[in-house]
């Protein structure tokens, strides 16, 4: 597939943005200025001010001498840069690959995108009309290379679409400046009478290199497509994504569901062919007012089951506010995993997490209650109780050790032991009474001690003597004494902690 690029130039970006944020400036003569060598210099002018002779680079005092009513505002380049960034993110509805061409342009890699709008001309018209209606002065062009598209956007006819493979002919009548050459090179060309690219394009490369340096050949080769030009997108393109533009804006939940169903069928069809499954999905809805609504899902294991994924999204569709209508839907799968081809059976006797029904049930619960409500734990090779289990995110991860079954362990283990007040005989007896969170518990039964030593290679500290105790109400607890008990009165009494609760 031939690469296609669109470059967009905003010649009045700074002033256009000022009018957008301050509508009262519309139709007025105003300029932006910044300090330079102790003087305020005009850096941008409105169309109305420019028509009256105010030019960029003019000293503000001179500009006001020409036009006393001129409104002068401080130029803030960072605000203009942010406006360009916002425009780039807005253009993501037209292509997944958009790059900044600072200080006042954008580069769009539109390869394979135009057919969604019915062709390149329709695509270009829709893009340029929308930006113009938003109040921006723009010039744009489409070509096989960034260099040719940039040349026509700046020096050719705005809205030009250079046919595939025709970049050489499209460049012949343009000036050398359209190749993005530095001023010193352009000055040399002007002196030699090279007013158009056709004047020197036939000259052997070695002669051009000797006269003008390597930069001219590099820029020319990139424009002609002989050398590749790379761009840095504002957002990395996700390999697995599908787009669906709408002929009419969608404002109903039913319309959103139909669009989602179509996108899922297309995306899952591709995942099936490539042996992949979705682990995370994002549905972005681009509204006609420029705002974006977004919902996302996660799955406990890779899936390309359309009905299941649709049900997960369906739980969140009601949170989408369509506003005046949604004009484009984008479904992305930023996280995918390989899926093994498994033979379908009439019934599933394996159970556990290998059952698709179980994992789909977990996905549904997660979708309703949140991703932090379901956790999976596996045993870990540690003696210290709070280190003996670990949280895992994958249903396919296998334990590296067995659950300990020779000793009773509480159903609920506190992430960190909590201090309690204890009355206990000496030296190694379990407590007879303890107070926890203001409540006194009288112990009727107890078992222990079970001594667990600190893991010296991880951390230094006292050992713990654990007891399983049962109070008069039949509730069972796991408590421990930290360190040894000293009979001498001057020695400080050991601390006691509660660490878990039995069923």
Write out pLDDT tens, residues 408-456. 889 888 989 999 999 888 766 889 999 999 999 999 999 988 999 888 7
pLDDT at 458: 79
In the predicted model, is pLDDT for residue 19 greater than 70?
yes
**What's the total number of domains in the chain?**
3
Which structural domain, as residue segments, surrounds residue 148? 1-237
| One domain for residues 287 and 225 | no
| One domain for residues 214 and 248 | no
Are the beta carbons of 141 and 5 closer than 8 angstroms? no
In the predicted model, is pLDDT for residue 347 greater than 50?
no
Q: Quick check: is 386 in a domain? A: no
Cis upstream peptide for 237 (omega within 30°): no
Burial (CB < 10 A; 0-12, 13-18, 19+), residue 2, is: exposed
Give me 279's structure tokens. Answer: 């682990």
Last residue of a domain, one of 339, 367, 385: 339
pLDDT at 415: 86
In the predicted model, is pLDDT for residue 261 greater than 90?
yes
The DSSP secondary structure of 368-410, one letter per residue, reads HH-GGG--EEEE-S-SSGGGSEEEES-SSPPPSSPPP-SS---
Mean pLDDT throughout 482-503? 78
Give percent helix, percent strand, percent coil of the chain, each to the nearest 5. Answer: 35, 30, 40
Give the residue from 290, 286, 368 showing the smallest Cα distance to 330.
Answer: 286
Q: Alpha-carbon torsion 452, 456, 459, 460, what sign?
A: positive
| One domain for residues 104 and 77 | yes
Task: Dump pLDDT digits (tens) for 187-213.
Answer: 999 999 999 999 999 999 999 999 999
Mean pLDDT throughout 152-181? 94
What is the three-class DSSP state of 272? Answer: helix
Distances (CA, A) of 411 to 165, 222, 408, 430, 498: 70, 67, 9, 21, 14
Last residue of a domain, one of 277, 307, 339: 339
| One domain for residues 333 and 441 | no
Q: Quick check: is 487 in a domain? A: yes
Q: Quick check: is 361 in a domain? A: no
| One domain for residues 183 and 106 | yes
| One domain for residues 293 and 208 | no
Q: Any idea what the Cα angle at residue 362 is, between residues 357 and 366, rounded to 5°?
A: 150
In the predicted model, is pLDDT for residue 344 greater than 50?
no
Give me the residue label for tokens 């997108």.
233
State which H helix or E strand residue 326 sits in.
Answer: strand 326-338
Mean pLDDT throughout 163-178? 94
The mean pLDDT value of the chain amounts to 88
Give me the residue label for tokens 């340029």.
128
State which H helix or E strand residue 321 sits in.
Answer: none
* Residues whose CB is less than 8 angstroms from the CB of residue 203 and which lie 6 or more positions away in sequence, other chains included: none
The DSSP secondary structure of 328-368, one letter per residue, reads EEEEEEEEEEE-------SS--S-GGG-HHHHHHHHHHHHH
Question: What separation, in Å, do the N-terminal and C-terminal C-alpha atoms of the chain show?
Answer: 64
Strand partners, 479: 467, 498
pLDDT at 349: 43
Strand partners, 482: 464, 495
In the predicted model, is pLDDT for residue 398 greater than 80?
no
Confidence band for 226, pLDDT divided at 50, 70 and 90: very high
The DSSP secondary structure of 13-71, one letter per residue, reads HHHHHHHHH-GGGTTS-EEEEEEETTEEEEEEE-HHHHHTT--TT-BHHHHHHH-TT-E
Are the beta carbons of 313 and 294 closer than 8 angstroms? no
| One domain for residues 88 and 227 | yes
pLDDT at 355: 56
pTM of this prediction exceeds 0.75: no
| One domain for residues 305 and 430 | no
In angstroms, the CA 445 to CA 467 distance is 10
Distances (CA, A) of 2 to 21, 112, 125, 126, 378: 40, 9, 21, 22, 51
In angstroms, the CA 451 to CA 480 distance is 9
Q: Any idea what the Cα angle at residue 75 is, between residues 69 and 78, rounded to 5°?
A: 155
In angstroms, the CA 71 to CA 69 distance is 6
State which H helix or E strand residue 297 sits in.
Answer: strand 292-303
What is the three-class DSSP state of 77? Answer: helix
Strand partners, 480: 466, 497
Task: Dump pLDDT digits (tens) for 88-111.
Answer: 999 998 999 999 998 999 999 999
pLDDT at 350: 45
| One domain for residues 19 and 162 | yes
| One domain for residues 86 and 37 | yes
Confidence band for 476, pLDDT divided at 50, 70 and 90: very high
pLDDT at 363: 67
| One domain for residues 214 and 295 | no
């Amino acid at each position: 597939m031939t690469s296609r690029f669109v470059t967009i130039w905003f010649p009045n970006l700074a002033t256009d943005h000022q009018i957008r944020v301050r509508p009262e400036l519309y139709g007025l003569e105003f300029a932006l200025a910044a300090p330079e060598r102790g003087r305020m210099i005009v850096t941008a002018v409105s169309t109305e001010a420019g028509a009256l002779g105010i030019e960029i680079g003019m000293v503000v005092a001179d500009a006001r001498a020409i036009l006393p009513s001129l409104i002068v505002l401080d130029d803030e380049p960072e605000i203009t840069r942010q406006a360009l960034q916002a425009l780039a993110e807005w253009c993501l509805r037209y292509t997944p690959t958009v790059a900044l061409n600072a200080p006042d342009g954008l580069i769009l890699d539109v390869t394979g995108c135009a057919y969604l709008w019915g062709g390149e001309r329709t695509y270009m018209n829709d893009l340029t009309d929308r930006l113009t209606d938003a109040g921006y002065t723009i010039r744009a062009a489409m070509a096989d290379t960034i260099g040719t598209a940039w040349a026509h956007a700046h020096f050719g006819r705005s809205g030009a679409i250079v046919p595939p493979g025709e970049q050489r002919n499209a460049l012949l009548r343009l000036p050398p400046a359209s190749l993005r050459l530095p001023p010193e090179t352009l000055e040399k060309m002007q002196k030699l009478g090279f007013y158009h690219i056709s004047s020197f394009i036939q000259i052997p490369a070695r002669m051009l290199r000797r006269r003008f340096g390597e930069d001219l050949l590099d820029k020319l080769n990139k424009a002609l497509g002989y050398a590749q030009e790379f761009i840095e997108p504002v957002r990395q393109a996700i390999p697995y994504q599908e787009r669906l533009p709408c002929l009419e804006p969608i404002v109903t939940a039913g319309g959103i569901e139909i669009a989602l169903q179509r996108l899922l069928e297309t995306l899952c069809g591709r995942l099936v062919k490539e042996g992949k499954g979705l682990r995370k999905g994002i549905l972005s809805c681009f509204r006609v007012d420029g705002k974006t609504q977004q919902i996302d899902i996660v799955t406990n294991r890779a899936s390309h089951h359309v009905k299941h994924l649709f049900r997960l999204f369906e739980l969140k569709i009601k949170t989408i506010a369509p506003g005046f209508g949604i004009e484009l839907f984008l479904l992305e799968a930023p996280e995918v995993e390989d899926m093994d081809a498994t033979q379908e059976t009439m019934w599933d006797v394996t159970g556990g997490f290998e059952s698709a029904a179980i994992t789909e049930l977990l996905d549904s619960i997660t979708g309703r209650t949140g991703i932090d409500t379901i956790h999976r734990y596996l045993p870990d090779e540690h003696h210290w109780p709070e280190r003996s289990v670990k949280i895992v995110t994958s249903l396919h991860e296998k334990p590296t050790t067995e659950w300990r079954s020779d000793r009773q362990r509480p159903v609920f283990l506190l992430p960190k032991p909590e201090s309690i007040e204890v009355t206990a005989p000496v030296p190694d007896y379990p407590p007879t009474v303890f107070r926890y969170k203001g409540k006194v518990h009288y112990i009727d039964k107890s078992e222990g001690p079970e001594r667990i030593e600190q893991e010296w290679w991880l951390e230094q500290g006292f050992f713990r003597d654990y007891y399983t105790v049962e109070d008069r109400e039949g509730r069972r607890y796991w408590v421990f004494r930290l360190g040894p008990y000293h009979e001498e009165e001057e020695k400080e009494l050991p601390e006691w902690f509660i660490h878990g609760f039995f069923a």
